Structure 1
Amino acid sequence: MDAVTNSDSPAATSLTNRYGTPKRIMSKRSKLILLVVAGALSLTWVLWVVIGGNTGISQKILSYNVADGTMTTVDLAVTKDPSATAKCALKAMNDSYAVVGWNVVTVGPNAKDAGSENGRTTTVRGEIRTDSLAVTGVVENCWLVK
């Protein structure tokens, strides 16, 4: 037989003998294990984002007032456990979004009949001294104090 037409010819089998038979990149079992591990990592990340992002405190800016070039006030509502103490970082920014003032206000514990939502939400006014005229006042972040 001719080497070109016969698949069992020495030329055709010499490559298999030399390099071995072609193998699959991944077996079905390996693909399944990889899929399970990827799914577990994805689920862990989602749970971390949902649960880990919950700090037990939330804030909402109610209003701000730029009094003059040296003072800005920010009114905010802080929702937390009534027995907990929190701190909130406030900042005043100019029209270029540069910070022109910064202050940290403390939101102490309160009675269940104070504020709203059985004492969970407290309204606070924070004053920010500024270096120059601000155009806005914002809440940067709030956190619970241990």
Structure 2
Amino acid sequence: MYELKTKETDENVIEFIENVESPKKREDAYRLLQLFTEVTGFEAKMWGPSIIGFGAYHYVYKTGHEGDAPLVGFSPRKAKISLYFAPGDTARETLLAKFGKHTTGKACVYINKVDDIDTDILKELIHQSILFLQSQYPEK
């Protein structure tokens, strides 16, 4: 059976951030930690070895595949900072048009540094993503 790689762990978020090599990425990680915590009201948790997640939801796909994931999160990766929001929502695309310098993947938004983006739009993206996921996957 398939085993999820990205699960909530007991690893320490601050220790993880302190081990980020780049001083600028480390500083940005602390800014994002404060911002995500403020907007979500959730305590930051490590998901897998490198994702800092906030809140959680349980999903079940039509295929029967299911698991748990953070509602939103980020990861200060070596190349870029990955931001995790709900994919496929039209509100997300509208907000991203005003977000600042970024690229997108299926579920990720990539930035070089926090100074490249509008943090007010980031707050809206976080809030919108949580509302969307909670409407799609209500708690039982």
Q: Shared topology, TM-score over 0.5? A: no
Give the number of the structure whose residues are more often strand, by fraction.
1
Q: Which of the two has higher C-alpha Rg?
A: 1
- Between 1 and 2, higher relative CO (CA 8 Å, sep ≥ 6) is seen in 1
TM-score (normalised: structure 2): 0.22
Give the number of the structure whose residues are more often helix, by fraction.
2
